[in-house]
Amino acid sequence: MISAGTVDVTLKKSYLGINCLRIYTHGLQGQKLWGGRFTGATDPVMEQFNASISYDKRMWKADIQGSLAYVKAIEKVGLVTENEREEITEGLNKISEEWKNGEFVLKPGDEDIHTANERRLKELIGQAAGKLHTGRSRNDQVATDMRLWLRDAIVEMKTYLTEFINVIINRANHYGWMLKRDLERLTDLNLEFGDITGNSLDAVSDRDFIVEFLFWGSLLSTHLSRWAEDLILYCTKEFHTGSSLMPQKKNADSLELIRGKCGRIFGNEDKESMFDVYDTLSGILRVAIGVLSTLTIHKDNMRQALSSDMLATDLAYYLVRKGIPFREAHGLSGKCVSLAETKNCQLSQLTVEDLKTVSPVFDKDVSAVWNYDNSVDQYSAYGGTAKSSVMDQIKNLKDWISTL
């Protein structure tokens, strides 16, 4: 149900046969990256449905590489001490060696590579591991890890493609030109982290680089399929070859497999799909332009829809400033939300005495947390959500579009 200024969402038990009211429950206390508020056990079906460790464990190196860089960054801004940074770095390097040597042991609670590495880090170094996640969401890790992994994969892919082109040059010249274009396009997929992203929300949700890579792979597959088909043609009777089943032909299994694998990549690409995509996107864009150009913003309704629950992360940051590791602070903040729900009151209506039942570090200065404007404006880094940062982003976009 959607109403003016608010969105109401009702979760039902019938979705995919899974108890959706339990999708985000806490499971083993303190082990989930998103735990703290929730109690009970995650539905086993959802646990398996949500897990990605079976395939994303191949990003272990990228995940550790990103964390090694991140701990240096949070040390610079005073969120970890030099000793803690050294502890975390040593632990991450130990985990890296375990992965390299095939000694890393996955456990049932390891739903993805980020959870697995963080769990192991805590086993190795204790509470200091909880500080590694300060200021970084799992979406940050996913986006960064995929870029790091794909960057290395592209380097390897370029090596193979360059070698193939060299073979073609030595044997013939015709196919080398289309593969040259493929190599140039692959080089253009720049994942060198050469600059700061312009918007923090876009940075963690962007998957354009994957789409571009898949398109590149589809085009390369077309070229390789064409190459394989030509060689298959050259293996037919007309070119004086034979086959174990059909005397008139002799097709190399390798070439037929290349064509089959290529079909797996580019699927059902054809003119009809091209026209359909064009028509659909043209309609979507025209409607979107109309919607956005006539949209009216009701600021008062938006403010009235605000709830102090939205400041739960700010409450966690309050605890971080008191010296509590972020992972622990995150869980304590979730318990405060649960306490407010139990008492049937807003999070901001909990007394200091109420909050002290969750953690003794809460004090009267916690009242400063309940300010929505300050909550938004504290993220004043480049690409952040503070008004000053947003205005800079708007100016940058205007400057860019004026050059087109």
**Beta carbons of 389 and 381 less than 8 angstroms apart:** yes
Residue 159 clears pLDDT 80, i.e. is over it: yes
Together in a domain, 209 and 255: yes
pLDDT of residue 335: 96
pLDDT band at 389 (very low <50, low <70, confident <90, very high): very high
Residue 42 lies in a domain: no
pLDDT band at 125 (very low <50, low <70, confident <90, very high): very high
- Give the mean pLDDT of 155-159: 91
Which residues are registered as beta bridge partners of 236?
A: 249
Percent of the chain with pLDDT over 90: 43
Tell me the two tokens of residue 60: 């272990």
Residue 229 lies in a domain: yes
* Residue-wise pLDDT tens digits, 368-380: 999 999 999 999 9
Together in a domain, 177 and 265: yes
Together in a domain, 123 and 190: no
pLDDT of residue 231: 82
**Beta carbons of 112 and 310 less than 8 angstroms apart:** no
pLDDT band at 316 (very low <50, low <70, confident <90, very high): very high
* Residue-wise pLDDT tens digits, 220-233: 989 998 988 888 88
Tell me the two tokens of residue 187: 């080089």
Higher pLDDT pick, 7 / 356: 356
Element (H, E) at 394: helix 387-401
Which residues are registered as beta bridge partners of 3?
A: 6
Residue 169 lies in a domain: yes
Residue 110 clears pLDDT 70, i.e. is over it: yes
Residue 159 lies in a domain: yes
Together in a domain, 77 and 164: no
Residue 28 clears pLDDT 50, i.e. is over it: no
Of 234-238, 286-290, 363-367, highest mean pLDDT = 363-367
Residue 67 lies in a domain: yes
pLDDT of residue 173: 60
Residue 185 clears pLDDT 60, i.e. is over it: yes
Together in a domain, 216 and 159: yes
CATH number, residue 198: 1.20.200.10
82 CB burial (10 A radius; 0-12, 13-18, 19+): exposed
Whats the size of the chain, residue-wise?
Answer: 404
Together in a domain, 129 and 175: no
Global pTM value: 0.75
Tell me the two tokens of residue 258: 């290349």
pLDDT of residue 266: 65
Query: For residue 26, how many other CB atoms are within 10 A of its CB?
Result: 21
pLDDT of residue 289: 87
Residue 261 lies in a domain: yes
Buried b (16+ CB within 10 A) or exposed e, 304-322: eeeebeebbebbbbbbbee
First to last CA, the chain: 42
Least confident of 22-26, 47-51, 213-217, 226-230: 22-26
**Beta carbons of 362 and 355 less than 8 angstroms apart:** yes
Give the Cα separation of 124 and 134 in Å (integer).
Answer: 19
Residue 106 clears pLDDT 50, i.e. is over it: yes
pLDDT of residue 249: 47
Together in a domain, 115 and 163: no
pLDDT band at 108 (very low <50, low <70, confident <90, very high): confident
Together in a domain, 160 and 110: no
Degrees to nearest 5, angle at CA 148 with 142 and 153? 120
Together in a domain, 112 and 168: no
pLDDT band at 239 (very low <50, low <70, confident <90, very high): low
Concatenating the DSSP letter of every residue in 239-289 gives: GT---SS-TTB---HHHHHHHHHHHHHHTT-SHHHHHHHHHHHHHHHHHHH
Residue 74 clears pLDDT 80, i.e. is over it: yes
pLDDT of residue 317: 94
CA neighbor of 338 nearest in space, from 13, 35, 14, 3: 35
Residue 4 clears pLDDT 50, i.e. is over it: no
Together in a domain, 256 and 330: no
Residue 67 clears pLDDT 60, i.e. is over it: yes
Residue 396 lies in a domain: no
Together in a domain, 117 and 219: no
Residue 116 clears pLDDT 60, i.e. is over it: yes
pLDDT band at 88 (very low <50, low <70, confident <90, very high): very high
Residue 104 clears pLDDT 50, i.e. is over it: yes
Domains contained in the chain, number: 3
Residue 8 clears pLDDT 60, i.e. is over it: no
Together in a domain, 170 and 64: no
Domain limits for position 74: 54-136
**Beta carbons of 191 and 212 less than 8 angstroms apart:** no
CA neighbor of 151 nearest in space, from 59, 70, 221: 59
Give the Cα separation of 2 and 91 in Å (integer).
Answer: 48
Residue 24 lies in a domain: no
CA neighbor of 94 nearest in space, from 122, 66, 71, 114: 122
CATH number, residue 316: 1.10.40.30
* Average pLDDT of the chain to the nearest whole number: 82
Residue 190 clears pLDDT 90, i.e. is over it: no
Residue 62 clears pLDDT 90, i.e. is over it: yes
Residues identified as active-site: 174, 243, 249, 256
